[in-house]
A and B are shown apart, each in its own frame.
Chain A
Amino acid sequence: MTMTQTITKPAVTDERVGKRNPLQKLLGRPEVGALVGAIVLFVFFASVSQTFTQPNAFATVLYGSSTIGIMAVGVSLLMIGGEFDLSTGVAVISSALTASMFSWYFSMNVWVGVILALVVSLGIGFINGWILMKTKLPSFIVTLATFLMLTGLNLGLTRMISGGVSSPSISSMDGYQAARAIFASSVNIAGVDVNNTVFIWTALVAVASWVLLRTKVGNWIFAVGGDANAARAVGVPVKATKIGLFMAVGFCGWILGMHNLFAFDAVQSGEGVGNEFLYIIAAVIGGCLLTGGYGSAVGGAIGAFIFGMANKGIVYAQWNPDWFKFFLGLMLLLATIVNLIVKRRADASKG
């Protein structure tokens, strides 16, 4: 079949380019390891648990995935751009605390706080990126410092302003219902409640994929991650690209922060610690290279989906959730090994 195709169109193809069948082409993509893992995991949980494949349960899995996935979009892009951010977990909480406490303290419309939180989130991203570019320190150190500082600020400021460890309830304030409708409500599709975050997540993945593969900026992201010096030498604005990536992570953090706030009406100031690793794990499982220059937004999404399935699947299979972290670690290891093998195979099979 493929042979005849090659022969009938000799003008377009070069005879030295071995025809790669669609399967080989698929195997060359960064997210393929994660996709295989996701399918295996899905089949596994579907076979051990009756409820796992029920539409309602699946919507819950998707919701769980989306809360990781929204951040994984930004973190994946950042990782492709050659950096990573350890402050994401607590930055989400910082954003939520900013929105709730500002509105509460000044008794303003909730939306004022929401907008301010956006400014703060983008600002944290900007500061991370700017310090990184100025000092040329590794992003590990810079964002670890931001992580610690934000953790302290979250706890300290919350206690100073509200006198407790959690932000005061804002459920009765102006604009709360509207904000809740956007950030934390569900849409009923064919009898199944699907949380808004799932749609936001899907939209973010689509936009990120488009930016990454079909725009100038996407080209620059791959370039600054692959070889920042080469990129700078051919005129790519390396600093602006990297700072922009940190701000994109900040934007994702704002969305998740708003969800966390409006899903309830208050935020625990000590939350978020450790979540940054979940986002990084999702990106890595999804085939993003830790060293930068390779990966995809879809990969990060699949990574988040694997996380969501494992997280909820263990509950549906009625196992002890204590085992969850073990599974997560095992999956991280397996997925990266599969990625490695598949990538080598795909490269070797190029004609």
Chain B
Amino acid sequence: MNAKQIDQQQLLKDEKDPLTHTPVHLLSLENVGKHYGNIVALTDVTMAVDNGRVTCVLGDNGAGKSTLIKIIAGLHQHDEGILHIMGEERKFTSPRDALDVGIATVYQDLAVVPLMPIWRNFFLGSELTTGVGPFKKLDVQKMKDITKKELADMGIDLRDVEQPIGQLSGGERQCVAIARAVYFGAKVLILDEPTAALGVKQSGVVLRYILQARDRGLGVIFITHNPHHAFPVGDRFLLLKRGRSIGYYDKKDITLDELTAQMAGGAELAELAHELEQLGGHGDIVKEVQAEVAGTENAGATDAGTPNRVRA
């Protein structure tokens, strides 16, 4: 038995563009694939992003999550399939292209330039200027004020926007990057493992900002390998494994347990439990893994290898 997957056509029926009143996704991928030389990084991935929805992309290391977002963010070009932005077929040649149509990406590691002050980072690449011609100069005061205000609106109360952003904590840096994307009118916000390097409390803070961004009407793509972070904030879940989609679910059709089981793959967990037992490992851990396996079986998830792609 398998949880009900999303039918993309069905999805389109509920979503209407507010201007044209035609069913169109903010962003959609159809059977998108990418290979580096003879290495296939991604094949046949289909997903959609809509206003005010959080789409979670889940997968283990090497599942193709990064490749997927790099295609959407314009860092790489896809080799197969179609990328639609507001119903229009596109292929980005640079991050600038993606930014211009309103796709902003917050990267886990390269979100900011550490040595530069917060306000300079906030406006980097989209600086405000005053004056004309060769005497066009940065509007420093305005940029500082806006930075302070935007961050305060997101609930981040920073001491001094002049300090180098490298002095902020990882969570704060993510938040600055999210606030920046929201301020610059991003329609689609991609978050690349924003909680991966964070502690429990800071992860909570970042998750809250994801919901804030969603409530402001952004289409959020949240990349993570942690179903416990994805489930509370996500509306849809795309699961990737070895470059393929192994499931695409709506929140109402799946539970956290099922999601976790799908992610981990029931058979692999059972194997791990067996191995640990043989090694005479800690009893608690073995029990824990066994409990997980039991949960997996209850959830009725099939082996992760079953082909169950979503068709557009």
| Residues B115 and A226 in contact, CB atoms below 8 Å apart | yes
CB distance from A345 to the nearest CB of B (A): 15
B residues 197-247 touching A (CB-CB < 8 Å): none
| Residues A223 and B116 in contact, CB atoms below 8 Å apart | yes
**Residues of chain B contacted by A46 (CB below 8 angstroms):** none
The reply on B285 being an interface residue by CB < 8 A is: no
- Measured CA separation A78–B123 after assembly (Å): 22
Specify which of B113, B123, B137 is in contact with A214 (CB 8 Å cutoff): B137
Given contacts A17-B160, A214-B138, A215-B138, contact A235 B125 (CB under 8 A): yes
- Measured CA separation A230–B120 after assembly (Å): 13
Given contacts A14-B159, A227-B113, A230-B113, contact A219 B96 (CB under 8 A): no
The reply on A216 being an interface residue by CB < 8 A is: yes
The reply on A254 being an interface residue by CB < 8 A is: no
**0/1 string, A210-229, CB within 8 A of B gives 1:** 10001110111011001101
| Residues A233 and B107 in contact, CB atoms below 8 Å apart | yes
The reply on B52 being an interface residue by CB < 8 A is: no
Inter-chain residue pair count (beta carbon < 8 A)? 81
| Residues B75 and A219 in contact, CB atoms below 8 Å apart | no
- Measured CA separation A85–B27 after assembly (Å): 44
The reply on B255 being an interface residue by CB < 8 A is: no
| Residues B113 and A233 in contact, CB atoms below 8 Å apart | no
| Residues B112 and A215 in contact, CB atoms below 8 Å apart | no
CB distance from A38 to the nearest CB of B (A): 24
Closest to A16 in B: B159
Specify which of A222, A235, A350 is in contact with B116 (CB 8 Å cutoff): A222
CB distance from B95 to the nearest CB of A (A): 5
B residues 60-117 touching A (CB-CB < 8 Å): 73, 75, 95-96, 99, 105, 107, 110-116
Specify which of B113, B127, B129, B136 is in contact with A226 (CB 8 Å cutoff): B113
- Measured CA separation A234–B112 after assembly (Å): 9
Given contacts A222-B115, A223-B116, contact A230 B110 (CB under 8 A): yes
Closest to B99 in A: A235
The reply on B140 being an interface residue by CB < 8 A is: yes
Closest to B166 in A: A226
Interface size class of A (residues with CB under 8 A): 20 to 34
**0/1 string, B124-140, CB within 8 A of A gives 1:** 11110100000011101
**Residues of chain A contacted by B136 (CB below 8 angstroms):** 215-216
CB distance from A45 to the nearest CB of B (A): 34
| Residues A232 and B138 in contact, CB atoms below 8 Å apart | no
Interface class of chain B by DSSP = loop
The reply on B8 being an interface residue by CB < 8 A is: no
CB distance from B73 to the nearest CB of A (A): 7
**Residues of chain A contacted by B127 (CB below 8 angstroms):** 216, 219
| Residues B124 and A231 in contact, CB atoms below 8 Å apart | yes
| Residues A231 and B159 in contact, CB atoms below 8 Å apart | no
| Residues B129 and A216 in contact, CB atoms below 8 Å apart | yes
CB distance from B285 to the nearest CB of A (A): 39
**Residues of chain B contacted by A236 (CB below 8 angstroms):** 124-125
Interface size class of B (residues with CB under 8 A): 20 to 34
Given contacts A236-B125, A350-B163, contact A231 B138 (CB under 8 A): no
| Residues B96 and A216 in contact, CB atoms below 8 Å apart | no
Closest to A236 in B: B125
Specify which of A210, A214, A215, A232 is in contact with B95 (CB 8 Å cutoff): A232
A residues 293-331 touching B (CB-CB < 8 Å): 293-294
**Residues of chain A contacted by B120 (CB below 8 angstroms):** 219, 222-223
Closest to A216 in B: B127
- Measured CA separation A233–B74 after assembly (Å): 9
**Residues of chain B contacted by A230 (CB below 8 angstroms):** 107, 110-113
CB distance from A71 to the nearest CB of B (A): 23
Interface centre among B73, B111, B112 (most CB of A within 10 A): B112
| Residues A233 and B73 in contact, CB atoms below 8 Å apart | yes
CB distance from A321 to the nearest CB of B (A): 39
**Residues of chain A contacted by B96 (CB below 8 angstroms):** 235, 237
Closest to B134 in A: A215
CB distance from B173 to the nearest CB of A (A): 11
Interface centre among A16, A226, A294, A350 (most CB of B within 10 A): A226
CB distance from B138 to the nearest CB of A (A): 5
| Residues A226 and B116 in contact, CB atoms below 8 Å apart | yes
- Measured CA separation A321–B113 after assembly (Å): 44
- Measured CA separation A229–B111 after assembly (Å): 9
Interface centre among B113, B116, B163, B167 (most CB of A within 10 A): B113
Pairs across A and B, CB under 8 Å, 27 listed: A14-B160, A17-B159, A17-B160, A210-B137, A214-B137, A215-B129, A215-B137, A216-B127, A218-B138, A219-B138, A220-B125, A223-B113, A223-B124, A223-B125, A227-B110, A230-B107, A230-B111, A231-B113, A231-B125, A233-B73, A233-B75, A233-B95, A233-B107, A234-B95, A293-B114, A294-B115, A347-B167
A216-B127, A219-B124, A232-B95 provided; 5 other pairs, C-beta below 8 A?
A14-B160, A17-B159, A210-B137, A214-B137, A350-B167
Q: Could you tell me which B residues sit within 8 Å of A by CB distance?
A: 73, 75, 95-96, 99, 105, 107, 110-116, 120, 123-127, 129, 136-138, 140, 159-160, 163, 167
What 7 A-B pairs come out closest when comparing CB atoms? A235-B125, A226-B113, A234-B125, A230-B110, A293-B115, A227-B113, A214-B137
